[in-house]
């Protein structure tokens, strides 16, 4: 296999699902067959040491890559990497800003590139395309200029097909690839002693419901809070823990107070990777009631498969890409995420039957071992790379 260039605005040590995905991909490409081009973050030098691939940093902080000057510097640096390493394929971790240097490399060197899409950016793009001819032209050049578009779920793929069809790129729309995400089953696993995490975060009693998420409106945390009085009417000891940070925390805390839930809901703040597996093991049921909210939606939901990896049954919102992460009736159940009564019914149903929870948790673990894991995700992407790459990029025109 020849060399591949990965253009990534989101890359470790940056947090978030896209950065996690790109880091896991870099760990699994054959050693030194991938060059990562990205910005610089605090902690980049230490983070880079764990990768078997060269990590090439543009000479400015990652946050500047979205500026005109940053894009010019990134494109120039990527061009230098192409001349030196002569890659046969380029991956864009996200449409913007990575699509800009990728499109230029295609025009200059004839290099094919693939764009990975995640969901929400396509909703935003749809809205902007209808209002701006320039945005439509940009989308046609960046997304429509790709050799392949890879989506993280069937929902995201359908959205990509709709956008590409509107841009007149129907052949590309017909070949959108779906690569559902995964996790690391050796890290997220059942049987981890939760005692220390329970003590650290004050998770006594229970049963505990758990959500691991940014505190954003579309994550459905408010719906779970609204469902909790009905859940506690059936299971009085039930409590709800939320791990994550975000701008909506104060709003959610006010809702908890308004509903008189007090200590029944606990906001844990940021929980690092070292504690997360034990936190999942401390819970009795995972709830991810994500929903469509304005131009925000859940493209897949990595935390859902992390919970499955730890042997937890899952209640997921039937929205966005969540149905690709939760096998309804097998690894969990899907409910209407806009309806607190439906969420409460799903939670109560599973809390009432430990046998069903156990079977779903075991099925979730098997699904992660056989499918929802980063090894399979990387194999899928490497196969797409092998199909589309050109081994001898032409000289610059």
Residues 18 and 143 in one domain: yes
Residues 90 and 205 in one domain: no
What total of structural domains would you count in the chain? 2
Q: Identify which of 178, 113, 176 has the alpha carbon closest to the alpha carbon of residue 142.
A: 113
Answer whether residue 46 is part of any domain.
yes
Answer whether residue 232 is part of any domain.
yes
Q: Can you tell me whether residue 229 is helix, strand or coil?
A: helix
Confidence (pTM): 0.93
Residues 164 and 292 in one domain: no
Range of the domain at 336: 195-370
Residues 226 and 273 in one domain: yes
CB 209 within 8 A of CB 238: yes
Taking only the tens place, the pLDDT of each residue in 328-360 is 999 999 999 999 999 999 999 999 999 999 999
Query: How does the average pLDDT of the chain come out, rounded?
Result: 95
Answer whether residue 393 is part of any domain.
no
Task: Give the contacts of 219 (CB within 8 A, at least 6 positions apart).
Answer: 211, 213, 288, 289, 290, 298
Residues 207 and 242 in one domain: yes
Residues 217 and 124 in one domain: no
| Peptide linkage before 86 cis (omega within 30 of 0) | no
Answer whether residue 147 is part of any domain.
yes
Residues 310 and 383 in one domain: no
Residues 132 and 237 in one domain: no
Residues 199 and 270 in one domain: yes
CATH code at position 116: 3.40.50.2000
Is pLDDT above 80 for 64? Answer: yes
pLDDT at 42: 85
Residues 205 and 346 in one domain: yes
Residues 25 and 173 in one domain: yes
pLDDT at 61: 82
Answer whether residue 9 is part of any domain.
yes
Q: Identify which of 41, 14, 107 has the alpha carbon closest to the alpha carbon of residue 394.
A: 107
Average of per-residue pLDDT across 229-256: 97
Among left, alpha and beta (phi > 0; psi -120 to 50; other), residue 303 is alpha
- Find the Cα–Cα–Cα–Cα dihedral 289, 293, 299, 301, rounded to 10°: -20
Taking only the tens place, the pLDDT of each residue in 274-327 is 999 999 999 999 999 999 999 999 999 999 999 999 999 999 999 999 999 999
Is pLDDT above 60 for 67? Answer: yes
Answer whether residue 172 is part of any domain.
yes
Q: Which two tokens stand for residue 365?
A: 């673990």
Q: Where are the beta strands (DSSP E) in 62-102?
A: 89-92
Helix H or strand E segment including 316: strand 314-317
Answer whether residue 351 is part of any domain.
yes
């Amino acid at each position: 296999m020849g060399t591949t260039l990965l253009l990534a605005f989101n890359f470790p040590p940056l947090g978030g699902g896209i950065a996690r995905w790109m880091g896991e991909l870099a760990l699994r490409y054959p050693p030194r067959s991938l060059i990562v081009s990205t910005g610089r973050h605090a902690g980049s030098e230490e983070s880079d040491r764990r990768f078997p691939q060269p990590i090439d940093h543009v000479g400015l902080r990652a946050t500047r890559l979205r500026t005109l000057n940053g894009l010019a510097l990134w494109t120039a640096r990527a061009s230098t990497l192409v001349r030196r390493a002569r890659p046969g394929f380029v991956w864009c971790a996200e449409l913007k800003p990575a699509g800009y240097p990728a499109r230029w490399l295609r025009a200059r060197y004839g290099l094919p590139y693939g764009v990975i899409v995640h969901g929400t950016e396509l909703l935003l793009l749809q809205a902007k395309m209808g209002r701006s001819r320039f945005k439509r032209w940009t989308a046609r050049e960046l997304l429509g200029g790709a050799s392949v578009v890879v989506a993280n779920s069937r929902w995201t793929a359908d959205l990509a097909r709709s956008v590409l069809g509107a841009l007149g790129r129907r052949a590309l729309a017909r070949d959108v690839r779906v690569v559902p995400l995964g996790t690391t089953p050796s890290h997220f696993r059942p049987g981890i002693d939760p005692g220390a995490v329970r003590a650290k975060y004050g998770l006594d009693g229970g049963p505990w419901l758990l959500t691991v998420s940014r505190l954003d409106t579309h994550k459905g945390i408010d719906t779970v809070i609204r469902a909790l009085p009905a859940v506690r009417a059936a299971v009085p000891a039930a409590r709800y823990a939320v791990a994550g940070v975000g701008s909506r925390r104060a709003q959610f805390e006010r809702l908890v107070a308004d509903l008189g839930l007090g200590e029944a809901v606990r906001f844990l703040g940021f929980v690092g990777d070292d504690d997360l597996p034990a936190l999942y093991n401390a819970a009795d049921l995972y709830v991810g009631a994500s929903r469509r909210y304005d131009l925000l939606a859940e493209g897949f939901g990595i935390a859902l498969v992390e919970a499955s990896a730890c042997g937890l049954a899952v209640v997921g919102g039937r929205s966005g890409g969540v149905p690709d992460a939760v096998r309804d009736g097998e690894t969990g159940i899907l409910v209407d995420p806009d309806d607190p009564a439906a969420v409460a019914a799903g939670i109560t149903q599973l809390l009432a039957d430990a046998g069903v929870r156990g079977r779903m948790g075991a099925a979730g673990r098997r699904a992660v071992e056989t499918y929802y894991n980063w090894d399979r995700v990387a194999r899928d992407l490497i196969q797409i790379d092998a199909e589309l790459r050109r081994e001898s990029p032409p000289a610059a025109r």
